[in-house]
Structure 1
Amino acid sequence: MSEVMVEPEALAAWVAIPSVSAGPAGPPSVRRSARWLARAMLRLGCSHAEVWETEGLPAVYGCRPAADPGAPVLLVYSHHDVHAAHPPEWRVTRPFSPVLRDGRLYGRGASDAKGQLLCHLWSLRAHLAERGGAGPAVTVKYLVEGEEEIGSVHLADLLARHSDELAADVVMVSDTMIWSLDHAAVCTSVRGSVTAGLTVRGADRDVHSGAASGASANAAVELCRLLAGLHDGAGRITLPGFYDAVAEPPAAVRESLATLPFDARTWLDETGTFAAGGEAGFGVPERLWTRPSAEVARLAAGPAGGPALGLLPAVARADLLLRLVPDQRADRVAEQLRRWLAGRRREGYAYDIDVSPTTSDPYRTPAGHPALDALFRAVGRAYGSPARPVGNGGAAPAAQLARACDAPVLFFGTGLPGDRWHGPDENVRIEALRLGARALTGFLGELPRCVRSGGGG
């Protein structure tokens, strides 16, 4: 396999566009990012690229048809919007002033997910060069949305409105992590997600502690009681029926996890956490990829900023994030969360649970699918060792894409635990991009040998 050229300078130019989808300052920059990507698609091999507007922020669509009309159609999904950044927390560089240092490119979105998407475009260019002007061996389409970091609020509309353009035989989600550059791996599943706001009210207004301390309802204390009961003593989630649909991972995944090189100290250093916790009886990789989780993402009570002024807060709120595994369903877990709260209400408080409509179901790539086998072979050749199956701890709209396209979903990512997604000094290893683009180039050549078009073209 010939070497694939990657362009860190091009990635840096894209990272410099602050395409933050959350907040009022985002739309102009997200649109600028979309236009940049459409031009890059045309430069790197697409015959067609355009910006698709939504009622919110724009997506980008690109396509390069295969020379053979009977060739399979691959749809690549990713996103070009990025998570918000807090500049004072960044040390190596400012979030949108990318810098290359010691083989890493630093900047918001370098790994999540602009670098990952450029790997696909670099691989298309390399694949076309290998074909010597014959055109690609597979029709490649790209759907890159601009609202993933705010819940993909208009993705369903895009999929419905552009169903003909997005028809495909295989879908690939490129917004995932790998374990290590030293061990070839293919992600075969992603967790789903349910987010919700839990609000407790104990009074009409904040109350002075001198008038009520020790005798009145305290919303913050009550909220803490509820959150403390979200897990039992073994770290298991207490929602009624929560584990009834938790499926055991395939034997190949269990075997892979059993032999996966895992060093706790390295993982703690890369993630910046102080200790590894969670459900008893499972190791860290198992907890990340094969077990569900429930987290508190944010807490708020009392006046923001300044001294507390001796007030007892009338209202307290927590933002919850639940990660789901096959065969759980987001709508059922949302109902379990409501029943959990209903069974824990106490007199003297008002409660509300607001479940976000932008939930996602977990997804597992069908075992033994020819396209999955092709991806394993391509990754193994690129890394120089057989690829092992792993999972992804985060969520992706894989189940939604599978339903909309009526096609299996594969996963390919270049993110690493130390890339600091959503955190300060986000970065990507250039070597990860090089290996990723090399693997994808091989996959484009491998796919037509094992999958024929079912009408996606």
Structure 2
Amino acid sequence: MISSARDFLSSHRDELIGDLTDWVSVPSVAGVPEHEADLLRSANRLAGLLRATGFPTVEVWKAPAAPAVYAEWIIDPAAETVLVYGHHDVRAAKAEEWEETTPFRAVVRDGYVYGRGSSDAKGQVLAHVWGLRAHLAECGAPRVNLKMLIEGEEETGSIHLRDLMEEHRVTADLVIFSDTLLWHPDHPAVCTSMRGMLLAQLRVFGPLRDMHSGAVSGPAPNPIHELSRVIAALHDDKGRITLPGFYDDVAEPSARRRAELAALPYADDDWLRRSDTRSIGGEEGWTVLERLWLRPAAEVITILGGDPAGPSRGAVPAAAEATLSIRIVPDQTPAAVADQLRRWVASTISDRVGHELTIGLETGQDPYATPPDHPAVEALASAMQEAWGVPAGRMGNAGGGPAELLARMTGAPVLFFGTGLPDDRWHDSDERTSIDVLLKGAEALAAFWRGR
């Protein structure tokens, strides 16, 4: 059956795309001082869209250098209250690596909108805006109390989110978290878990200054060699992380959860094509989807040493550094993993070098799992089936985010809904979003609101 929400969205397709391309043009880059004004412009642009949608209350909350947008539509103080969470800040982009367009000049091509933030996560926010507009066109008014909190510093760790929620006393009975991926454009799945995250930087010190390699090569401690050795020791030959005690707190996934993931359509060649990952590795004994969503992981995301730009000076460098991203799962915590990492580095690194380990506990994020039998899970699955025309499976999210914080601050369960795809190139060049998936996502949200 073609719903009136589908008809509404089809007739407003160009407006949705226009809203997204206009918003992408605002370079709301997180954590870069010269883009602070752009973050405020981005927040004000969204605030205008929410007012035009009908929200009686819309505010821009000015957290330090990272404004958030808050909106609420209270129909009855005694009714259910649903809080939608998302973010409008984006990652920095290297324009010279983009081929489809420049990062902040969105283009529409072959069914996609290209531009930084088109998928992560401005497109996801607009799916909510237009899903609500389609619902209002069908039903005239919301059926629950609606709140939206779209922050401006997710990409830098949501440092002030807790303070904002405490200051403004944000409450809810259910949270919808929209900064996630779908498994496949043709096979919808409800996300019911998110891994946590911990970032750390390891600096290794060799000679007291950069030294001509011809003068000291051989006896001098080389910090790149030692950093490489430590990084190589982070995993064993079965792909397991070697921090002592690391797996002691890793909850064993239920047979039900493993069966849910096994039911998703999966093939190695499809995954490699859509993820651009060249080959498959990771922890032995687990499927690719289990490695992504149920098991912890440790990655090196930056490494620096010597002369990374320009001609080499032929010197043994004085220092080298790497940034580690550790993804954690229930029942691990950032604090416990930080202690394990400190002990492991201290016992692993050579005494011929100095080192400094900095762990970002202030931006660490706990993992979160939606209560599997919460009625909102099935309600969202039914809404997604209405939009896609096929049953919705269950999946997880491999990244991190403040889901556990939102649950703790509101006391409400968190439900995940996103319109991103693994092949949307988040944080990379030529980021894009599928227009068809955006429209289906908005239709699913309209159906979800109708069913509340």
TM range (shorter): over 0.9
Check conservation: 1:81, 1:149, Cα contact below 8 A.
Answer: yes
Give the Å deviation of 1:203. Answer: 2.1
TM-score normalised by structure 2 residue count = 0.95
Deviations 1:271-330 (A, max 9, x none): 222111111122221111111100000101123422222210111100000011111111
Deviations 1:210-261 (A, max 9, x none): 2211111111100001000000000100011111111223333311222322
304-313 or 172-181: bigger deviation: 304-313
TM-score normalised by structure 1 residue count = 0.94
- Which residue identity does 1:26 align to in structure 2? H
Give the Å deviation of 1:270. Answer: 2.1
Check conservation: 1:192, 1:362, Cα contact below 8 A.
Answer: yes
Residues in 2 aligned to 1:20 and 1:110: alpha-carbon distance in whole angstroms: 13
1:421 corresponds to 2:426: yes
Give the Å deviation of 1:147. Answer: 0.7
Matches within 5 A, 1:183-194: 183-194=187-198
Say which SS state the counterpart of residue 395 (structure 1) adopts: coil
Say which SS state the counterpart of residue 71 (structure 2) adopts: strand
- Which residue identity does 1:56 align to in structure 2? A
1:155 to 139, 161, 164: 161
Match of 2:106 in 1: 98
Say which SS state the counterpart of residue 119 (structure 2) adopts: helix
Deviations 1:347-375 (A, max 9, x none): 22111110012000000001211222221
- Which residue identity does 2:255 align to in structure 1? A
Give the Å deviation of 1:76. Answer: 0.6
Residues in 2 aligned to 1:47 and 1:250: alpha-carbon distance in whole angstroms: 44
Residues in 1 aligned to 2:411 and 2:60: alpha-carbon distance in whole angstroms: 24
1:251 corresponds to 2:260: no
Deviations 1:88-109 (A, max 9, x none): 1111111111111111111110
1:36 to 45, 49, 69: 45
1:65 corresponds to 2:74: yes
1:180 corresponds to 2:184: yes
Match of 2:97 in 1: 89
Root mean square deviation, CA, Å: 1.3
Give unpaired runs (5+ residues) of structure 1: 448-457
Match of 2:136 in 1: 128
Give unpaired runs (5+ residues) of structure 2: none
Residues in 2 aligned to 1:433 and 1:261: alpha-carbon distance in whole angstroms: 21
Instruction: State how many pairs are aligned.
Output: 442
1:293 corresponds to 2:297: yes
Residues in 2 aligned to 1:393 and 1:41: alpha-carbon distance in whole angstroms: 30
Residues in 1 aligned to 2:349 and 2:274: alpha-carbon distance in whole angstroms: 40
1:46 corresponds to 2:52: no
- Which residue identity does 1:293 align to in structure 2? A
1:315 corresponds to 2:319: yes
1:394 corresponds to 2:404: no
Matches within 5 A, 1:135-284: 135-163=141-169, 166-284=170-288
Residues in 1 aligned to 2:307 and 2:225: alpha-carbon distance in whole angstroms: 15
Say which SS state the counterpart of residue 358 (structure 2) adopts: strand
Check conservation: 1:252, 1:389, Cα contact below 8 A.
Answer: no
Check conservation: 1:56, 1:154, Cα contact below 8 A.
Answer: no
Residues in 1 aligned to 2:36 and 2:354: alpha-carbon distance in whole angstroms: 37
Residues in 2 aligned to 1:110 and 1:352: alpha-carbon distance in whole angstroms: 38
Check conservation: 1:242, 1:333, Cα contact below 8 A.
Answer: yes
Say which SS state the counterpart of residue 401 (structure 1) adopts: helix
Give the Å deviation of 1:183. Answer: 1.2
Give the Å deviation of 1:267. Answer: 2.0
Residues in 2 aligned to 1:306 and 1:180: alpha-carbon distance in whole angstroms: 42
Match of 2:441 in 1: 436
Check conservation: 2:28, 2:42, Cα contact below 8 A.
Answer: yes
Residues in 1 aligned to 2:419 and 2:211: alpha-carbon distance in whole angstroms: 51
Check conservation: 2:47, 2:60, Cα contact below 8 A.
Answer: yes
Matches within 5 A, 1:328-347: 328-347=332-351
- Which residue identity does 1:107 align to in structure 2? G
Check conservation: 1:299, 1:319, Cα contact below 8 A.
Answer: yes
Give the Å deviation of 1:50. Answer: 1.2
* Percent identity over paired residues: 50
